[in-house]
Structure formats: C-alpha cells, structure tokens
Structure 1
Amino acid sequence: MSEQSSTHYKNTLAFAKQADADDTLARFRDEFNFPKDEAGNNLIYLCGNSLGLQPKKAKEYVAQELSNWAELAVEGHFKAKIPWTTYHEVMTKSMADIVGAKPGEVVLMNTLSTNLHLMMVSFYRPTAKRYKILIESDAFPSDSYAVKSQIKEKGYNPDDALLLWQPREGEHLNRFKDLEALMAEHGEEIALVMIGNSNYYTGQKYPIKEITQLGHRYGCKVGFDLAHGVGNIDADLHDNGPDFAVWCTYKYLNSGPGAIGGCFVHERHADDKDIPRFTGWWGHKMDSRFNMRVDFDPIPGAEGWQLSNPPILSMAPIRASLELFAEAGFQNIRAKSKKLTGYLEFLINELDDDRIALLTPKNAEERGCQLSIQVKNADRSMHDGFMQAGIICDWREPDVIRVAPAPLYNSFEDVYEMTQRLKELLATL
C-alpha cells in the first residue's frame, strides 16, 4: 500500500476492506490467537499497549521445551535442539534489529524493573555535586518508584534530587524546549536523565537522539524505558547513542504476561570492566563460567549484565513472536503502523464532536501506534460499553481511552468498527 495522507482516507467500510486487501502484512493476522465472544467470533483487540496477543507458535515452542525437559533433563542445557545455555542468543539479532542496535548491545533477561535497577546501579553514580535524576513528570509508576528508591538508597532525598520534565499549564505534551531549559538550569547537578518512551498515557514519542545529545552535553548519563516503545517506534538505539535502555516484551512484542525483559548497553561501555554493577554467574564469560572458582570476568557488551541462567519456558514465546517480526521486517511494520493509526485519527476527526480530544501528537513521527482519546464527561462506563460491543481497549482515569492498533495483527476494518462503536457510545452520553 502506498503512503497515504488523510486526504486519501475514506470513512467507509468499503475503504477499510480494500485497505486490508492491499496490505502486504495482513497475512500475519492469522498467526495470532484472538479472544472470542460467546458465539466464537473474534473480538476486536486494540489493547496491545497493555498485553499483546499470543502468537500461535508460542504453544508449540513452550511444549517443545517441556518435552526437552522431560526427555533430556539437565542435558537439555547442551543437547536440546536449541541448547538452553545459548537459547537467548537465537533471538539476539532479531531483538537488536527491532531496537536499532548491534547484537552485542542487546540481551533478553530478567524483567523490566529489575533491568532498570541494574542499569541505575551502573549508570547512576551520584557525587556531592552531581546527584540528581531527571524524568518526565507523568512517568509510568514503576519508573518513578524505581528512580526514587535508587535516590534514597544512595542517601539523597527525592524532594531535592528528583527533577521533573513536565507539560506547560493547560497542556498534555512535553516540549523539548522546556527540557533544554531544565538542563540549562540544573545540568551540572544531574547524574542521570531517564525518560520513558513512548509515554504510557499520552502516547508521545520523545526524541531519543536529541535528548541523548542534550544530556551528554552536560555530562549526564542517559537512559530510556522503552516499555511502550519497543516494537512500536524507531528507537535506533546504537546511532542515537543513549548509555542504556530497558524494556518489557509482553506489550507490542507479544511474549506473554510477565514475560522477561530486554536491555541495551551502548557498545562504548562494552569492554569497561570497571563499571560498577551487580553481578551474577550468567554474566561471566562462557569459556570459564563453569569453572566456578575464578573471579568474575564479564562478557563484553550487554550480556555482561546477566545474573542468572535464562528462564527457558518464558523465553519460548518471545522466540515465536520475534520470528514474526523478523519475517515481516520492522520497517514494514512501522510503515503500516503509521497508516493504520493515521486512519484511526482520520476517523476520530470525522466524528466532529467537541467532546473528543486527542492527547497524542498529530505528527506520526512523534508517536507510535497508540492514540489516547480524551472524552469530556465520560467515565469508565464508556470503556465498559466498548467491552459489551466486542472491542477490547484500555481505560485510564479520569477520562482517557487508549487505543493501540498493532500492525502485525490489527486491520483497517478493526479501526473502522471501533470508531463506529465510539460514535454510538457518544450518542448515549
């Protein structure tokens, strides 16, 4: 499908069906399991920003590892079709391609908040002069909790040591100029700039390269939480150059509830053995890992931050999902995402209802697939109405519906039907 502006969209079911017929990624929809209604019909699922759908191969891949465990027991570490000792390596390249990194800069391990703490152990090194952390004011709670706890653990008070990049009064989106002003005022006091990207509430994608360059200009370390960005935005982590990034895999990467997370450490830190870190035996070089009686010798790159041997049963679904990403090609996925969310935006604007406001940036380069729809005088009953109409989306207090058409499994018809239900629900308010 060629790139389309809003002038080429049409508010008709026929247009949506034709757009799906022309979509070269439409076949991937059949690779996922959809929740169904009582009659056995697929529900319209627009909640990949919270939990992605299950790839159909996930069950097969988990079953294979259960069989390996049953048949090989401990020998599965070396004799399984994909030996458990190197299982994570099978997915490294496809994971690196999605985040725009070199394979040595990426590892799948732990969970998101654990990885964030591990990264802050290494990259938040406060001094008497430089001890502050800067985050966005409406960071995801887990980020805020983790940052505050790290500040306290280092003996500082978050009331003094935590700086917030926040929207201007009456606005919802953060402005880069305001971040520049914060840095100009406090840059010499800031040890770490740690931004969630994309923002979970508004869907705003922050400029990774510009933020990184700004932080480094003032001598700060820079990291990103890509929980709502990975698989959803062009992160280009290697070229953009942050010191680290962390993410989960259960949202846009469709790897299952509570699936393990991922971590990026830029290659300029790859061989620095003097970086303080919490260590575990799986971060030790493979050739002497099982010696057991040698001092810790970290694997160069991101793998050197590993703690324990990977949970194979949890990694199997990630393998199923990342195979689909590799087959589809992330740039193709991103291109469809822009068109699909653009169509959703067009249809919402077609409602022409002054009770509706989009919090998410209009520029497709400043967002992923999520649109955050604010509905004046609405409450959770509107979300319940969507559920009753067979549409699964997401509600955030006090009055925001988050809708995330995921390009690997959502269709233009999904988007069209969602806005038809929204029109009907608005008529009842």
Structure 2
Amino acid sequence: MTFENTRAFAQQLDASDELRKYRDEFIFPQVNGKQVIYFTGNSLGLQPKRTKAYVDEIMNDWATLAVEGHFYADKPWWDYQERFAGPLSGIVGAKPSEVTVMNTLTVNLHLLMVSFYRPSAKKYKIICEEKAFPSDQYMLQSQVHFHGFEAKDAIVEVKRREGEHNIRLEDILAKIDEVGDELALVLMGGVNYYTGQVFDMKTITEAGHKYGAYVGFDLAHAAGNIKLELHDWGVDFAAWCSYKYMNSGPGNVSGIFVHEAHHNDTDLSRFAGWWGHNKERRFLMEPKFDPVRGAEGWQVSNLPVISLAPYLASVEMFAEVGMDKLIKKRDLITAYLEFILHEIDKEIDGTEFEIITPSNKEERACQLSVFLHGQGRALFDYLMKNGVITDWREPNVIRLAPAPFYCSFEDMYEFGQILKKGILKE
C-alpha cells in the first residue's frame, strides 16, 4: 500500500478498518477538552466501557450474597478463574489446561522459578537478554543468590553488538551453545520493553532444550500484542501482566502458562497453596497437597475476583475479535505511524528520527521506539501538554504503541502534525 500523509487518507483507512467500532468501547482521557492520542497501551491500556458492569456484578453479589457468592453468584467466585481458560488459551496459543490467572507478574515468575530453576553445582546458569526489564533483572539476581550463586557467575546476558540497537538471533543461539551443559534456564522477554524487538521464541526454545535447560518467557509486552503459539513451540512456562495490551487496569492480576508436559510431573517442585489443591476435594481441608493437574495447580491463594472482573471483561473482547484481526490492524497502523515519522523527519531540516525497533514486521509488534536526535525532554513535555500521551525513556527515546483496539489512523496523522509543531516551536 502506498501511504499518504494527509488527513483524508488517514480517514479513508479508518473507514475501511474492520475494528473501528471497538474504539468506542474505550474511555479516553481528555486534555484541553479534547480526546487524547493514546500511545501508552504498552504501559497501561485504556479502560473498556464494559469493565464497570463486570466489577459492579461482583460488588452487587458481595452486597446481596456475602460469603455465599462463592457458590451462588451468577459467576461463582470459587471457580471464577476457569472462565479465563478458553479466551486466554486463544490469546497465547495454549491448551485451556495450560493457562490460568493469579497474583502479579513478578510474583508469578518467582513461583514458576521454584519449579523451573533447580540449579546444581554444574548446571546453574541462566541466559537472559541485555537490558531486560529491571524487575526481571532483580528477580533473577535474587533467585540465584537464594540458591547460593553469584549473579556475575550465574546470569549470562546476551548483548547487542557495538553500534546496534537490537539483539541478533544468531548471538542468542551462539550464547546458548557457549554456555552448553552449564545452562539451567533461558528466561527472556518475548518482546523487549525498550526497543520493541520481538524474539524468535520457537527457535530459542528449541536451542535451550538441546542442552536439557528449561525455557520460559516474560510476556508482559507480548501477550495480547503478538501471535503466540506457546504449546506448539514447546515453551516450558511463561507469565504476563494483564494491564498493558489486555486493558485490565493498573497493577492487575497476571496470567501464567505451564506446558502440559509438566502437569503430571510429581517430582517438580512448587510452592503449594490450597487453591492449587484438587478442586473436588479442596474444601475437605486435607493435610496432604494434591495439585490440580494443569496450570491451576500452581495457584496458591484464592483469587481476588474484584481484580479478575476487569480482566474477564477484556479477554472476552479479545475472544470476540481474535488475535489474527488485531495483528492485521497492528501491522498496518504501525507501518503508517512509521511512514508519518519519516515524512515529518523529511519536512524539517536538522531533525533526525531514528527508529530503533526492527523494521521487519516479524520482529516487531505495535511499538516503535524512537531516538529523537537533537531533541530533548522539552519535546516530550510539549506532546503531553498537547494531548499526545506517550512514554519517555532516557536519554531521549519516546515509545509509541498504537494499540489496534482503540488507536485510529487519523490519530497517527494528527500526531505527526503535533510533533511537527513541537519541533518547530523548539
């Protein structure tokens, strides 16, 4: 498709967008009396309008049924999490028994590490990517220290080559080969939070398994954003937050994946709790733990259903649309945003936008990370004051995530015009 940097062309794209009605399903903040252009769905998604009804249902059941809501609410609380199995399995490419919801992201990664990081004196190293999200770095450091190792010895980072912004797949595979039989775990982000690079999880998983290592992924920036086939790829485990592309609300509950190959492994360590106990016998209060055969067997405490309600509202919207349609629009709107950036760059002398996200659509999702050479924080502040909600990362990177559920093509055009005015103002 040949793009044009005109409002009329953007409106034409919107008119043919089969997801355009979903924009009206979300609540947008306003700045200066106008609806914002929202680029931070990679940090916190907008609130779906249907969310309130789901939360109100829980509150009303609590008010009218109290404790009996566990069993007699229209959506009984004691098995509320089971409603996620179908839609979540479609989002991450899993069997329904391989997914569930519980806790928050880093808590879940710690719990999964109990099962999938069991180091020995000779097999103890973890491979991760350079500049992983800080929470992952802290989590890995504390895990290796807990097991009596030094982070500098046990944690092996795959680094970017000098002068490059992204990590080459060949370097990941070479590092796995280099660590070899000392490798206990590969744990990476499915999408790098800083650059937006999508990693080849299938190939990485196969490479880690060659050395008898477990392979897991932090899918915080991947779930609801890219096509995932966790079961078919043979990924051992994964976890993700729900408040970015899946619009469940700030700090909300996390999802996990555990491959069915591990469901009946009674030798696999885990930290147990009663909500992971055999569902049919849970309320018998038996002294010996008998885990549910599936991802739900990793649950610890009963679920916070008030927090689950917004997430359920969102995943049911995903089920209505399907990932294929979301990805189709994601690719087109991200490409249009990329075009707009290059057009504005050409129109203004002395400006250079360097997009550090891969240009290959197979290696990126709906985030473009942009170096604003010659520009500083003042430009970001101008954008924010003029209704463009975006994300700043030091030293001079803005992250732009045109989430396909609620961003429009006209947003991309209008952003370009505001960006141009902000640069000329400076």
Q: Same fold (TM over 0.5)?
A: yes
Alignment pair present for 1:211 and 2:241: no
Amino acid at match of 1:268: A
Q: 1:196 aligns with which of 175, 189, 212?
A: 189
Alignment pair present for 1:32 and 2:26: yes
| Whole-angstrom CA distance in 2 between matches of 1:279 and 1:234 | 31
1:287 is matched with 280
Partner SS, residue 372 of structure 1: strand
Q: 1:381 aligns with which of 378, 382, 385?
A: 378
| Whole-angstrom CA distance in 2 between matches of 1:221 and 1:240 | 13
Q: 2:252 aligns with which of 249, 259, 265?
A: 259
How many Å apart are 1:329 and its aligned residue? Answer: 1.3
| Whole-angstrom CA distance in 2 between matches of 1:215 and 1:361 | 24
| Whole-angstrom CA distance in 1 between matches of 2:135 and 2:129 | 13
Amino acid at match of 2:285: M
Q: 1:315 aligns with which of 293, 308, 322?
A: 308
Partner SS, residue 224 of structure 1: strand
| Whole-angstrom CA distance in 2 between matches of 1:43 and 1:294 | 55
Q: 1:180 aligns with which of 155, 168, 173?
A: 173
2:403 is matched with 406
Unaligned runs of 5+ in 2: none
Q: 1:415 aligns with which of 392, 404, 412?
A: 412
2:390 is matched with 393
1:369 is matched with 366
How many Å apart are 1:425 and its aligned residue? Answer: 2.1
- Is the 2:32–2:387 Cα contact (8 Å) retained in structure 1? no
1:103 is matched with 96
2:69 is matched with 76
Q: 1:92 aligns with which of 64, 85, 103?
A: 85
How many Å apart are 1:426 and its aligned residue? Answer: 2.4
| Whole-angstrom CA distance in 2 between matches of 1:293 and 1:106 | 25
- Is the 1:45–1:392 Cα contact (8 Å) retained in structure 2? yes
2:117 is matched with 124
| Whole-angstrom CA distance in 1 between matches of 2:266 and 2:9 | 57
| Whole-angstrom CA distance in 2 between matches of 1:273 and 1:298 | 9
Alignment pair present for 1:51 and 2:44: yes
1:58-73 matches, within 5 Å, as 58-73=51-66
| Whole-angstrom CA distance in 1 between matches of 2:307 and 2:314 | 12
How many Å apart are 1:109 and its aligned residue? Answer: 0.6
2:136 is matched with 143
How many Å apart are 1:288 and its aligned residue? Answer: 0.6
Amino acid at match of 2:147: K
Q: How does the TM-score come out when normalised to structure 1?
A: 0.97
Alignment pair present for 1:249 and 2:242: yes
| Whole-angstrom CA distance in 1 between matches of 2:41 and 2:118 | 35
1:10 is matched with 4
| Whole-angstrom CA distance in 1 between matches of 2:264 and 2:204 | 25
- Is the 2:187–2:218 Cα contact (8 Å) retained in structure 1? yes
| Whole-angstrom CA distance in 2 between matches of 1:368 and 1:26 | 19
- Is the 1:187–1:220 Cα contact (8 Å) retained in structure 2? no
| Whole-angstrom CA distance in 2 between matches of 1:273 and 1:185 | 32
- Is the 1:273–1:298 Cα contact (8 Å) retained in structure 2? no
Q: 1:328 aligns with which of 318, 321, 324?
A: 321
How many Å apart are 1:352 and its aligned residue? Answer: 3.6
Q: 2:160 aligns with which of 167, 179, 185?
A: 167
Partner SS, residue 309 of structure 1: coil
Superposed structure 1 runs of 4+ greater than 3 Å apart: none
Matched pairs, number: 422
How many Å apart are 1:228 and its aligned residue? Answer: 0.6
1:228 is matched with 221
Partner SS, residue 368 of structure 1: coil
Deviations 1:294-328 (A, max 9, x none): 41001111110000111010000011111111111
| Whole-angstrom CA distance in 2 between matches of 1:16 and 1:204 | 26
How many Å apart are 1:377 and its aligned residue? Answer: 2.9
- Is the 2:32–2:386 Cα contact (8 Å) retained in structure 1? no
1:355 is matched with 352
- Is the 2:247–2:311 Cα contact (8 Å) retained in structure 1? yes
How many Å apart are 1:378 and its aligned residue? Answer: 2.4
Give RMSD over aligned pairs: 1.0
Amino acid at match of 2:332: K
| Whole-angstrom CA distance in 1 between matches of 2:422 and 2:373 | 13
How many Å apart are 1:38 and its aligned residue? Answer: 4.2
Amino acid at match of 1:379: G
| Whole-angstrom CA distance in 2 between matches of 1:91 and 1:310 | 12
How many Å apart are 1:119 and its aligned residue? Answer: 0.8
1:21 is matched with 15
Partner SS, residue 370 of structure 2: strand
Deviations 1:269-303 (A, max 9, x none): 11112210011000001111111024100111111
